[in-house]
């Protein structure tokens, strides 16, 4: 099976919304978001998630 590759950068920004507005939180490191992104992406068998260290 051919796979599509989704190449991610090393840092990203997450916006957290709460009752008084929102916070912008800088995260770093490829493994920091595995619960929120890499796990759901496993449902797409034809897409490989990777990054350049």
Give the predicted TM-score (pTM) of the model: 0.44
Q: What's the Cα-to-Cα distance from 52 to each of 9, 15, 16, 30, rounded to whole Å?
A: 7, 24, 26, 9
Q: What's the Cα-to-Cα distance from 14 to each of 17, 34, 42, 43, rounded to whole Å?
A: 10, 14, 21, 22
Model pLDDT for residues 1-53, shown as the tens digit of each residue: 788 887 776 655 555 566 666 666 555 556 665 566 777 888 888 888 877 66
Total domains, the chain: 1
State which residues form the domain around 10.
4-51
Instruction: Give the separation between CA 13 and CA 33, rounded to whole angstroms.
Output: 11
């Amino acid at each position: 099976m051919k796979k599509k590759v989704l190449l991610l950068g090393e840092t990203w920004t997450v916006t957290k919304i709460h009752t008084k507005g929102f916070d912008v939180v800088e995260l770093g490191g490829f493994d920091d978001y595995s619960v929120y992104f890499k796990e759901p992406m496993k449902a797409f068998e034809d897409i490989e998630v990777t990054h350049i260290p």
